[in-house]
Amino acid sequence: MKFKASKLLCAILGLTMIISSIGCSGGNSGNNVEPQGDTQTPQVSETDTPQEEVELTFWHIWGAETDASYGAVKKVIADFQKEYPHIKIKEDTTENEAYKTKIKASAAANELPDIFSSWGGGFSKPFIDSGRVLAIDDYLDDATKSRMVNGALTNVTYDGKVYGLTFGLSCGALFCNKELFEEHNLEIPETYDELVEVVKAFKAKGVTPMTVSGKDIWTIAMYFDAMALKSAGGDKVTSTLLKQGSFKDPEFLNAAEKFAELVELGAFPEGAAGLSKDESDIPFLEGKIPMLFNGSWTAGTVYRDDSKIKDKVTVVGFPVFADGKGGKNDFTGGAVDCIMVNANTKHKEAATLFQQYFCENMARETYLAGAYLPAWKVEVDESNINPVTVELAKLTSEATGFTLWWDTLLEGEDTQIYLNSLQELFLGSITPEEFIDKLQSMYE
């Protein structure tokens, strides 16, 4: 008994060593993505297609019918299948948040599919650093690149190499309920001082001016990212986030102080710190709260079935600061959602072919669906598109630049530092100066 037990223990230990070495080895170790669609299928179909049959696995996040992108994905994949019948796309969809966990675990366990949707900036950086993602420069010709809008590749370029393709662009924008502004004889604010006046005026009439969810902290970050941009300007924000500068520069403190001022003025709902985004959106959609600063996808939300503010919404950029370096046409956001190819895929040609086809067509279809602004140059009939999306497209067509959201640009750990200290600033449990100190701790 004893002998057996020790033998078993040895076996377990041995096994563990092997396994943990697999777990930690670089991405270049043996590729084990199951070749479900066998490449060497000899029975080339009766049709005289010379190409060999290929099956590609594709994981993405657009599997819910409530998503504006749902129909677009379905259509683009169906079109692709028609055009390239020998390349079979096997989809698997997962809910957004769970997908992030799934894809990280799959990367760690070397179980990534051939093609997967991801996010540019900090999220994908560890994937790229560990060699999980294919650099696609060799597959991308200049003609293709020329069909993309400026900045389409910025967030998917790492160390000078392109690792993913984007299709749509999102930006932060201030969604305003025109009716409420008219009712209270107020103008849509263009400068920060006007914003403060508007906030005070609404407040005086018992209307909560803006909504935010303090529990889903990224919604607070939407506001602060924009304020930092208006204060410091795009280049400074980006270089500081990339750790080539300092949060101690006065522009950041200025943004933090102004943010704290808005909180102090009661610009946000009472108890917002405990509300989820689903809850905090409702008063805006019911026409009780006049302003919401959030991503351009909100245009879709405004036209949701149960929305009471359809056709009442106009959209502007965040008000500019008199003492700020960011201009009227500087926006937060950018082309982030992207498609990447597994570095270990057996079908690099087919996978990159699909990647390009998918992104270019998704750019058009998701714009038509009102989900994204296009990251490729597309010709479409805009009359059927959600009017707020069209307004956004016009607004951003004059954009001088897009500065990525902090929680997207930063890597995991720094993102958490940012979000957690921003929540504290929002609660008023730290001062703007302390907030800056916490941000600066990213440099340590």
Partner 1 sequence: MGKSKKELDKVKKIGTSGIVYSLLFIWAAIQIFPIYWLFTFSLKSNSEIFGGNALGLPKEWMWQNYEKALVTGKVGLYFFNSIIVTGATILITIVVSLMASYALTRMNFKLKRPMNAFYMLGLTVPIHSALLPVFIMLRSMKLVNSYIALILPYVAFAIPMAVMIFTGFISSIPRELEESACLDGCSIYGVFFRIIAPLMKPAVATVSIFTFLQAWNELMFAVVFISDTRYKTLTVGIQSLAGQYTIDWGAIGAGLVVATIPTLIVYIFMSKKVQDSLVVGALKG
Partner 2 sequence: MEKVWSNKKAIIFFLFPSFVILTLIIIVPIIMSSYYSLLKWDGFGKGEFIGLKNYIDLFSDKAFLMSVKNSLIFAVSSVFIQLPFSLLLALVISKGVKFERFFVTVFFIPVIISTVVIGQLWMKIYHPEYGVLNLFLRAVGLGNLAKEWLGSKETALGASVVPVLWQYIGYHMLLMYAGIKSISADVFEAAKIDGASWLKTSRYITIPLLRPILKVSLTFAVVGSLKVFDLVYVLTRGGPARASEVTSTLMVETIFKSNKYGYGSAMAIFVIIECFLLYWLIGKMFKTDEVV
What is the spatial distance between Cα 198 and Cα 177, in angstroms, rounded to a whole number?
13
What is the spatial distance between Cα 59 and Cα 113, in angstroms, rounded to a whole number?
7
Interface residue with partner 2 among 272, 341, 388, 436 (CB under 8 A) is 272
What is the spatial distance between Cα 202 and Cα 103, in angstroms, rounded to a whole number?
45
Interface residue with partner 2 among 121, 209, 214, 290 (CB under 8 A) is 214
The answer to whether residue 10 forms part of the interface with partner 2 (CB under 8 A) is: no
Backbone dihedral angles phi then psi of residue 243, each to the nearest 5 degrees: 65, 35
CB of 156 to partner 2, least distance (A): 17
Stretch that binds partner 2, among 8-16, 149-157, 164-172, 371-379 (CB under 8 A): 8-16
Task: Tell me whether residue 19 or residue 380 sits nearer to partner 2 (CB atom).
Answer: 19
Amino acid (one-letter) located at 35: P
Q: What does 350 interact with, of partner 1, partner 2, none (CB < 5 to 8 A by kind)?
A: none
The answer to whether residue 19 forms part of the interface with partner 2 (CB under 8 A) is: yes
Give strand ranges (E) for 95-151.
115-119
Interface residue with partner 2 among 358, 415, 432, 436 (CB under 8 A) is 415
Q: What does 65 interact with, of partner 2, partner 1, none (CB < 5 to 8 A by kind)?
A: partner 1
**Residues β-bridged to residue 272:** none
The answer to whether residue 275 forms part of the interface with partner 2 (CB under 8 A) is: yes
Interface residue with partner 2 among 6, 7, 10, 15 (CB under 8 A) is 15
Q: What does 217 interact with, of partner 2, partner 1, none (CB < 5 to 8 A by kind)?
A: partner 2
The answer to whether residue 23 forms part of the interface with partner 2 (CB under 8 A) is: yes
Q: What does 26 interact with, of partner 2, partner 1, none (CB < 5 to 8 A by kind)?
A: partner 2
Interface residue with partner 2 among 2, 3, 26, 379 (CB under 8 A) is 26
Task: Tell me whether residue 67 or residue 330 sits nearer to partner 1 (CB atom).
Answer: 67
Give strand ranges (E) for 290-376.
291-295, 313-316, 330-334, 337-341, 373-374
CB of 369 to partner 2, least distance (A): 28
Q: How many CB atoms lie within 10 A of CB 223?
A: 25
Interface residue with partner 2 among 132, 230, 236, 364 (CB under 8 A) is 132
Interface residue with partner 2 among 412, 433, 441, 443 (CB under 8 A) is 412
Task: Tell me whether residue 100 or residue 147 sits nearer to partner 1 (CB atom).
Answer: 100
- The terminus-to-terminus CA distance of the chain in angstroms comes to 54
Cβ(110)–Cβ(31) under 8 Å?
Answer: yes
What is the spatial distance between Cα 384 and Cα 396, in angstroms, rounded to a whole number?
19
Q: Give the up-direction half-sphere exposure of residue 354: CA atoms within 13 A in the CB hemisphere.
A: 34
Count of helices and strands (H, E) across the chain: 17, 13
The answer to whether residue 279 forms part of the interface with partner 2 (CB under 8 A) is: yes
Which residues, 111 to 130, sit near partner 2 by CB under 8 A? 126-127, 129-130
Pairing, β 313-316 against β 168-177? antiparallel
Q: Cα torsion for 169, 173, 177, 178, to the nearest 10°? A: -100
The answer to whether residue 217 forms part of the interface with partner 2 (CB under 8 A) is: yes
Task: Tell me whether residue 81 or residue 420 sits nearer to partner 2 (CB atom).
Answer: 420
> Can you say whether the dihedral through the CA atoms of 223, 226, 232, 238 is positive or negative?
positive
CB of 108 to partner 2, least distance (A): 5
Q: Give the up-direction half-sphere exposure of residue 186: CA atoms within 13 A in the CB hemisphere.
A: 27
3-state secondary structure 39-77: CCCCCCCCCCCCCCCEEEEEEECCCCCCCCHHHHHHHHH
What is the spatial distance between Cα 415 and Cα 406, in angstroms, rounded to a whole number?
7
CB of 346 to partner 1, least distance (A): 17
The answer to whether residue 427 forms part of the interface with partner 2 (CB under 8 A) is: yes
Point out which residues bind partner 2 (CB under 8 A).
1, 8, 12-13, 15-16, 19-20, 23-27, 100-101, 104, 107-108, 126-127, 129-132, 214-217, 269-276, 279, 411-413, 415-416, 420, 423-424, 427, 429
